[in-house]
Every structure is written in C-alpha cells, then in structure tokens.
Amino acid sequence: MSNLSVHIDGRELSVPAGQTLNDFFKDHEDLRNHDAVAAYLDGEVIDFHTALPHGGTIRLIMADSPEALPIIRHSTAHVMAEAVQRLFPGTKVTIGPPIENGFYYDFDSEHVFTPEDLRAIEKEMKNIIKRNDIFERSMVSSEEAKRIFREKNEDYKVELIEDLGVDEVSFYTQGEWFDLCRGPHVPRAKRIKAFKLMSVAGAYWRGDENRKMLQRIYGTAFATKEELDEYLNFLEEAKKRDHRVLGKQLELFMFNDEAGAGFPIFLPRGMRLRTVLEEWEKKEHYKRGYEIVSGPTLLKQDLWVRSGHWDHYRENMYFTQIDETGYGVKPMNCLSHMLIFKSKTRSFRDLPQRYFELGLVHRHEMSGVLNGLLRVRAFTQDDAHIICMPEQLPGEIKGVIRFVQDVMNIFGFDYKLEISTRPEKAIGDDEIWEQATNALKSALDDLDLPYEINEGDGAFYGPKIDVKLMDCLKREWQCATVQCDFALPERFELEYVGSDNATHRPVMIHRVILGSVERFLGVLTEHFAGAFPLWISPVQAVVMTISEKSVDYGHKVAETMQAAGFRVEADLRDEKIGKKIAEWREQKVPYMLVVGEKEAQENRVAPRTRSGETLEPMSLSDFMQRMQSEVDSKAL
C-alpha cells in the first residue's frame, strides 16, 4: 500500500495507508503534544481512529481553527447523550448534530428535564470526560445494527437505519456507550475542554408535527474556556440588548394575541421613531431622483399568476375573494410599480424611472420562526423599482450601492456583500440570468468592493446582491438587497420608445435599503441598546421639575421646545428629582433638563445626559442650538 505525506509544523512525514493517525502519532514521540482534533485526507475529514484508506495528503485540523468547532461540539453532544442515559435510565436518544452556535440532542424521556437537571448532566459529563475514553469508529452491517438497537429499545435509531437504505453503517464508541454516527469525533474525551448546557425546548421527531414531541437539550462548546467565557458574555450582552425586552421597556411596540401572532402594534414613542426614520428616508430618495408612489394591498390573483408568484411564492402569500374574483395580498410592491410604468407611453428620454414606496406587505411566516420585529407577518418595505434601459443598468446598480453605503455609514454599521445566483426554480432563460448576474458583478468590481457568491439563493425572477450589515456585537443581519430582473419586464410587456423610434424592452432593478422597516428598527434597537442617537430618538429630552413651584416654568420649557420641533416630554410629578433622573435614564432619553426655582428665575435649564454627565446650566436657546447641531450632524 502507498504511503501518505503528512504536513505538520512545516515538516513532511510519511505514514503507511491502512494505519490510523492515532497509531502514527504514537510512533512519533516529538509530535505527541500537537493540538489537532482531526484531519483532512485530500479534502475529506477523517478522525484519528479511522484507518487511512489510500495515499494522499493529510492536513491536520487544529483545535483553535474554525473547522474544529463542529467536531468538538459533535463529540460533546455524544458525551451529553451518555450522561443523560446514565442519569435517566430508559431515555431514548435520537439525533445530536452540531449547529451554528453549539449542538443539541433530542431525547424521548418520561422525565421532564429542568434547569437543575442540566447542571446535574454537566457534572456527569465532566466525570465521563475524566475517563478520557477514545472515540472509536467501527463499521457494522445495517441488519446487525438494527438488531443491536432493537435489543436496546432504541426504535428511533432503527428507523434512521431503515431510511438510510445502505448495507452498513458506522458506530462510534466511547467506553461502553455507543451511537449510530457518521463522525468525525475528537481523538479522546479530554479534548473536550469547555462546554455549557444552555436550555431545553420541545421538538417534534424529524420536524413533523404529527410525530412525537421530544425534548431537545441545547449546549455549546469551544476549544478553550476563554472562548466559552467570551461567548457567554456575548450572550449576556445580547440579552441586555434584546429588542423585544427594550421595546416593552421603552414603550415602542407591542404584540397582542387578540390581534394575532406576527402583527406588531406600534405605540406612540415607537411611531415617533419610525416616522422620523421614514421621513428622513423619503427626503433621501427625493435627493436621488426617486418618485414616491403607492399601490394597493390587494391585487387580482391573475396578476400574481402572470408574475410567477403563484407558482413560486404562493405558500408565502395570503389570498381572498371579492365578487367571486380571487385576489392576493401583496408580499412585495413590484406589480403596482410595473402597472404605473405601463400607464403611459415612455420614451428613452424618460428613463430611468425610479419608483419608491414605503409599502405595507404581508407574508405567511410559520409561527415557529416569528421573532419580535425581526420576523413578522406584516411589515413595511422601503421598496423601490428602477426601470431603465439595459445600458443604464451598471450606473443604476452602482447608484443603489452608494445609497446603501451612505446609510450604513450614518448608522455606524459595517457590512459585507453577497451575490446570490439562479435558484433551482426560476423564470427566464439562462442568457438573461447570466446577463443580470454579470451586471451585478461588474458594478461591485467597478466600485472595488469585495463580495462572496451564494450559489442558488437568488429570487425566482433574478439574481441579487445581499447586504449583510453587522451590528456592534458583530451579528449579521440581512437588510438591503439589489435584484436585477429581465424576466418580469418581459412577462408584463414593459416597453419604451428608443431613439430609433422602435419599441424596446427595459430591465428592472428591485431594491430595498433598510429592507423591512420593522426589522431595521429591531436591529437598530439592539445595535444601540435602546440608546438611540439624538436625531432619531423618540424622546429627545425630558423636562423634570424639582418641586411644584417650578411646574409652570417646566410647562413653558417643554412647550417652547416642542414648538421648535423637538420631541420632548415633561415630568411634572411631585417626586424626588433623584428618582425622576433614575427612571428617565432607564428610558435612555438623551437629555434630562432639571428645572427648579433658580432655573425659572434665570430662564435657564440644567441639562444631564443619559450617560450621567452633568452639563453647566445654560439658557434654553443655547441648549436648543446645541441639540439642533447634534441633530443636523446625525452624531452617533
């Protein structure tokens, strides 16, 4: 059998095919302290107890690499499953994969797991890790594997093997415990150094609501305790910033079961916030040559059939009937905008036409994915459609990207770009898809912006650029998108008269900048932890009186500021000023204006900031100038 070359620490060594990496490292005393958890054999992941099947090149997967995390977490899931079955005999195991931020395992148990149980399971996991068992792989015939699991009363495993439809399956054994598993796993249990069980949730077997409800235990694991601590601190910070909690605390929005899940209700302060945002965005669109339009919420079903939404998006839509005619509730605004374009003859001199709409749309989201403002069933899109000549396409795409860049800079967001290509189900031929995709790539190349390719994730009518913004915790959010569409102008027979007096087919760009206004507000709330910049803060200042003697002056200050266009509230309660200040700091109001008899006599205010800074007393006019300067600069 041929030998394999092993590259480690800049050295090239040789190992016979058929030997395991574990045996190899036993023969190389000087390499025993390496920190690898698995390896690539010609690009395929193998673990240390798998016999090397053929010659090739091996690259070790070191514990501190991103590639190691799923392996560490998968192994930790196995340790957890063993601990659960030790502590709760009769529990059946199902599946336990690694996921983005950790791992989970689904269990069928008569015992209902509690937070106290998680602590006991963690303790037992540590005992198992101390044994330092090998994670050893073996191949077993499917018939033998089913016999073994039937004897253990593990009927879920039997079902999995039957569905695989293969002659043999792989087992992984750690000590006396084993499980059906593809692997790979860490070499030994002590390679698991830092883990934490997080929560328990319900989960239907194989995601089918008609099957049994199981108990899912979530956990996470990292290569080092420092990384685990950093992640747990991140979760604590994210918890403090949860927009659902802050939305209630700051009285921005609410949900009500009587209204229905996924339908947000905005409270007065929340509407102030979104109104400022929307009015600002309207001005920004006017500055860039857009016209604001508005289309109906309901459109005839025939239009949705013609557009392709009926075939490709129907499950995400709501439908109704009026006078025995079918109608669809719009999930997007493009159809009305195309009808506007078709309402009269267009010349090449009229192009591009840029239509902008803050349009309320509805999409049928499953109840399990609803998440505050981040995933709702009714939301407002800052939707625009640019209908232009094909030769205008590069310039228009670049104009949209520059618009996105301006907005990201205003709010202090970093971002990255992805181009999503043709999905499996799509309309239009390959030629127009290639033309559209190349237009998006060329625009980003001309702007010298890096991007990744996301194969097969485009809209059914065209490829798109997705802008993933990153908040202060480095979490990614999908907001802005730019879609290039040759197909719908063809289906709706859009035309313009060219310089040759002949009719030509335009191309359409679908684009959003903020995306869903609701989602963007949720992201903003978490990004700023509810402490919004002054220019968009729903309450910019609160006037608070020291005693009843200054109530009239407090009224006057609040009314003067409101008349000047500032969003101000007045706290005139007969309450200690220290308590008022503490309460309004909890409301994250940028400025608190303390007024007493002295301030009333001198026509001044004593400002405090939400960060705790006390400013020198100043005249009301000077303070309003300070605020206006901060608003105009859109300081963060």
What number of other Cβ atoms are within 10 A of residue 45's Cβ?
15
Locus of tokens 């009229």: 350
User: Are the C-beta atoms of residues 527 and 238 closer than 8 Å to each other?
Assistant: no
Please say if 457 is a catalytic residue.
no
Candidates 106, 382, 383, 571; catalytic one:
383
Candidates 241, 510, 527, 580; catalytic one:
510
Which phi and psi (to 5°) does residue 350 adopt?
A: -85, -10
Tokens describing residue 577: 């000023």
Candidates 241, 464, 511, 567; catalytic one:
464
Is the preceding omega at residue 352 within 30 degrees of 0, hence cis?
A: yes
Please say if 334 is a catalytic residue.
yes
Candidates 49, 285, 330, 385; catalytic one:
385
Query: Cα separation of 107 and 195, whole Å?
Result: 19
Please say if 475 is a catalytic residue.
no
CA distances from 603 to 546, 556, 619 (A): 15, 10, 6
Please say if 385 is a catalytic residue.
yes
Query: Cα separation of 205 and 575, whole Å?
Result: 57
Candidates 381, 392, 540, 587; catalytic one:
381
Angle at 583 between CA 577 and CA 585, to 5 degrees: 100
Tokens describing residue 328: 């669809």
Closest CA relative to residue 462, chosen from 351, 296, 312: 312
> Residue 306: in which H helix or E strand, if any?
helix 301-307
Query: Cα separation of 568 and 591, whole Å?
Result: 10
Inter-axis angle of helices 268-287 and 517-527, to 10 degrees?
110
Candidates 337, 363, 511, 588; catalytic one:
363
Pairing outcome for strands 618-619 and 604-609: antiparallel
CA atoms within 13 A on the CB side of 98: 21
Query: Cα separation of 228 and 34, whole Å?
Result: 21
Which pairs with CB-CB distance under 8 Å and at least 24 residues apart come from 115-120?
Answer: 115/200, 117/87, 117/200, 118/197, 118/199, 118/200, 118/217, 119/197, 120/87
121 Cβ contact list (under 8 Å, min separation 6): 80, 83, 84, 87, 197, 217
Indicate the SS3 state at residue 178. Answer: strand
Please say if 311 is a catalytic residue.
no
Candidates 334, 388, 479, 484; catalytic one:
334
Query: Cα separation of 392 and 316, whole Å?
Result: 33
Tokens describing residue 65: 């690499």
Catalytic residues: 334, 363, 381, 383, 385, 464, 510
